[in-house]
Amino acid sequence: MFSFLLVAVLAQGPVAPPEPLAAPSASPAPPVLQAPDAGVADAVVPPLPVASLPPATHELFRRIQGRVAQVRIIERRSGTKSSIGSAFFVSAKGHALTNYHVVSDLVLHPEDYTAELDRGDATVPVRLLAVDVVSDLAVIQVDAPVSDYFKLEEHEPPQGTRLFAMGNPRDLGTTIVEGTYNGLVRDALYERVHFTGAINPGMSGGPTLSGEGGVVGVNVATMGNQVGFLVPVARARTLLDRALEQEGPPDSAALMTSVQEQLLANQQRITDRLMATDLPKQALGGYRVPGRWSPFLKCWGDTPHDPETPYTVTSYQCSSEEDIFLSSSHRTGVVAYLHQHVESQKLGAMRFSALYSTLFSQDPDAVEATREDVTNFRCKSEFVDVNGLTVRAALCLRAYRRFPGLYDLVLRAATLNAATHGVDTSLTLGGFSAENARKLARRYLEGLSWTK
């Protein structure tokens, strides 16, 4: 209908050239609005040039689908796949990029797992060359050269750019999904690109592309409802360059050492960042507690209202809301803390003391891990003076079994200055050196005070 109207208007004849502008007078008359001439086509918006239109999705898919493959992690004893992901070729020598979490079993259990690529027309074995555990990236390689591979873009696209994510969702074959580039996630501890599009399980490690077919990010995670996340292409380029400089694939011990060094460097980066920042204080009842220590922390507060409960608990918590995937059972790279202000005018001193002790004795939320990953916590409890405020504190550490020098810390502390109110607080750190964990715990305790 629109094209018919456009032809009808243009068929009425050429549009007369505009009159030359008259010189303004000393007292210009107000403009007079006139009805448009029915024979003038100025209101018709010309179509965009064909070159500026994005490509059709099916054309892009047909051109590049051979560059994307499914990664299969094979359990050696059964000879069958235990998990799947996606990868994409980035060099003529058969190098491909994927996520670390797709191939993590090859790093942690090389004796139990191997990997292969399903390219649609053939299944070929792959070897693991390099990992970036903090960014969740890995480089793998097939033996045979490839003729068709992706180019990694040099720069991030403008916000709002139409993008295309590819991968193998839920073992359904290679698919393509349209979405939008929305820039880097603000105040994130680990760099991620916000992609408005559907990234589903199995698409991890696949590429997200510009309309020209260049890679702008690597699929890594989703929150559902069209909220996806990508690893920035700059991180992928850095890891690929490192892999291309290697003489050959590293052995399993070298890969574990590489992961350990990356984790140690990451916790040092976080420690330096926090220690270089003044710890702000947040009012909570009659106390001051550590507030939002860094922009990468997200903070929330609440007070449940139950008229049947003879006491109130007001909570204030901050968390990095991000972590590093080491295995399906072990996460690290976490900073989180929780304050609870407890108050009652109905219980009396004895019953309030019992309630307060129960809250303090509850097991704190630790970073996700199993006995295979970490040792048991070892704790030390004592009474300390913090800015004239008497505090009972318990500091607990547990060691990483696979990565010496790394620990999880949990600090619990409770004020002891009143009979009907108090603050219980806990700090959780995942994957820090013992020295840095204690250093941060001391700074954290210094953030407690009482407004008399």
Contact status, residue 251 vs residue 260, Cβ threshold 8 Å: no
Question: Of 314, 313, 335, nearest to 324 (Cα)?
Answer: 335
Give the CA count within 13 Å in the CB-facing half-sphere of 33. Answer: 0
pLDDT value of position 7? 33
pLDDT value of position 141? 97
List, in sequence order, every residue forming a beta bridge with 385; answer none if it has no partner.
Answer: 390
Contact status, residue 44 vs residue 84, Cβ threshold 8 Å: no
Residue type, 186: R
57-89 pLDDT, tens digit each: 788 888 888 899 999 999 999 999 999 999 999
pLDDT value of position 55? 59
- Which CATH number does the domain 261-450 belong to among 3.40.1000, 3.30.360, 3.30.470, 3.40.50? 3.40.1000
DSSP string, 244-264: HH-SS---HHHHHHHHHHHHH
Spatial separation of the C-alpha atoms in residues 114 and 238, rounded to whole Å = 25
pLDDT value of position 22? 38
Q: How far is CA 16 from the centre of its chain?
A: 58
Question: How wide is the angle at C-alpha 214 spanned by C-alphas 247 and 127, nearest 5°?
Answer: 30
Please give the CATH architecture assigned to the domain spanning 53-249. Beta Barrel (2.40)
| Phi/psi of residue 416, nearest 5 degrees | -130, 35
DSSP state at residue 214: -
Question: Of 392, 397, 379, nearest to 448 (Cα)?
Answer: 392
Own/partner contacts of 297-305, CB < 8 Å, gap of 24 or more, are 297/335
DSSP string, 220-237: EEEEETTEEEEEEHHHHH
pLDDT value of position 26? 41
Spatial separation of the C-alpha atoms in residues 70 and 62, rounded to whole Å = 17
pLDDT value of position 54? 55
In a 3-state reduction of DSSP, which class is residue 148? Answer: coil
Could you give the strand order of the β-sheet that contains 407-415, starting from the edge strand earlier in sequence?
Answer: 298-302, 312-319, 334-343, 421-432, 407-415, 389-399, 378-386
| Domains of the chain by residue range | 53-249, 261-450
Contact status, residue 279 vs residue 448, Cβ threshold 8 Å: no
Spatial separation of the C-alpha atoms in residues 328 and 257, rounded to whole Å = 20
Low-confidence stretches of the chain (pLDDT < 50) are 1-42, 48, 50-53
Contact status, residue 115 vs residue 125, Cβ threshold 8 Å: yes
Report residue 344 as tokens: 């009652």
Spatial separation of the C-alpha atoms in residues 189 and 203, rounded to whole Å = 23
List, in sequence order, every residue forming a beta bridge with 314; answer none if it has no partner.
Answer: 341
Contact status, residue 189 vs residue 333, Cβ threshold 8 Å: yes
First and final C-alpha spacing in the chain: 77
Q: How many CB atoms lie within 10 A of CB 213?
A: 16
In a 3-state reduction of DSSP, which class is residue 248? Answer: coil
Helices 252-275 and 434-445: angle between axes, nearest 10 degrees: 20
Q: How far is CA 220 from the centre of its chain?
A: 8
pLDDT value of position 80? 93
- The model's pTM: 0.84
pLDDT value of position 44? 57
